[in-house]
């Protein structure tokens, strides 16, 4: 933070490997801005309608501990959206999950879309059955195609 001349305009959130979290919300962010953090979670937002957005996100994340991380995160985004979301209207949404590999487990993004959160859910549902496949393929590019994997699961695109 000391090396960033614009730190007062930034938000930073970190959760370490032991679940310890820390957040920073600079004093020059746009209204509304803020964060919440606790063990295993850090949520920061700016340009949302207010504190109920991040509170809804935190509550949804906490109440879904039995689900995979990518699902918990998307449910938290949807809860924030349902609590009022962005003050200027929604334009984009993204979901990035990195596990123990150097490549992401999930890396999905929707930009310039009138219903970006719903579109993110739609593409996640297409991608979800293939998460493990893409993890395997990154380590072994000789495995059968994703179409074959989907057929083996009784699914298709």
Q: Do 98 and 142 share a domain, yes or no?
A: yes
Of 22, 48, 65, the last residue of a domain is 65
The reply to whether 156 falls in a domain is yes
In the structure, how many helices (H) and strands (E) does the chain have? Answer: 5, 6
**pTM for this predicted structure:** 0.90
Predicted confidence (pLDDT) at residue 150 exceeds the cutoff of 80: yes
The reply to whether 38 falls in a domain is yes
Which two tokens mark 144?
């059968």
Q: Do 150 and 113 share a domain, yes or no?
A: yes
Q: Do 47 and 97 share a domain, yes or no?
A: no
Q: Do 106 and 51 share a domain, yes or no?
A: no
Q: Do 99 and 157 share a domain, yes or no?
A: yes
Q: Do 57 and 15 share a domain, yes or no?
A: yes
Q: Cα separation of 64 and 75, whole Å?
A: 8
Question: Per the structure, how many domains does the chain have?
Answer: 2
Cβ neighbors of 109 (< 8 A, separation 6 or more) are 92, 93, 94, 95, 120
Q: Do 104 and 54 share a domain, yes or no?
A: no
The reply to whether 85 falls in a domain is no
Distances (CA, A) of 134 to 57, 72, 104: 28, 20, 10
What integer is the mean pLDDT of 54-59?
A: 97
List, for residues 31-55, the tens digit of each pLDDT value: 899 999 999 999 999 999 999 999 9
Which two tokens mark 91?
């334009």
Q: Which domain holds residue 11?
A: 1-65
Q: Do 101 and 149 share a domain, yes or no?
A: yes
Q: Do 56 and 98 share a domain, yes or no?
A: no
List, for residues 86-103, the tens digit of each pLDDT value: 999 999 999 999 998 888
The reply to whether 72 falls in a domain is no
- Alpha helices (H) in the chain, listed in sequence order: 51-62, 69-82, 116-127, 131-139, 146-152
């Amino acid at each position: 933070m000391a090396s960033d001349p614009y730190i007062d305009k930034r938000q930073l959130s970190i959760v370490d490997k032991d679940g310890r979290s820390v957040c920073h919300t600079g004093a020059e962010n746009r209204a509304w801005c803020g964060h919440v953090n606790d063990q295993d979670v850090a949520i920061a937002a700016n340009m949302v309608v207010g504190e109920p957005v991040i509170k809804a996100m935190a509550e949804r994340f906490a109440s879904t501990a039995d689900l995979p991380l990518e699902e918990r995160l998307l449910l938290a985004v949807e809860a924030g959206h349902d609590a009022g979301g962005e003050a200027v209207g929604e334009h984009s949404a993204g979901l990035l999950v990195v596990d123990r590999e150097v490549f992401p487990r999930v890396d999905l993004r929707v930009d310039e879309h009138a219903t970006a959160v719903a579109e993110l859910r739609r593409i996640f549902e297409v991608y979800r059955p293939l998460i493990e496949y893409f993890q395997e393929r990154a380590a072994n590019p000789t495995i059968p195609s994703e179409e074959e994997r989907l057929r083996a699961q009784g699914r298709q695109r």
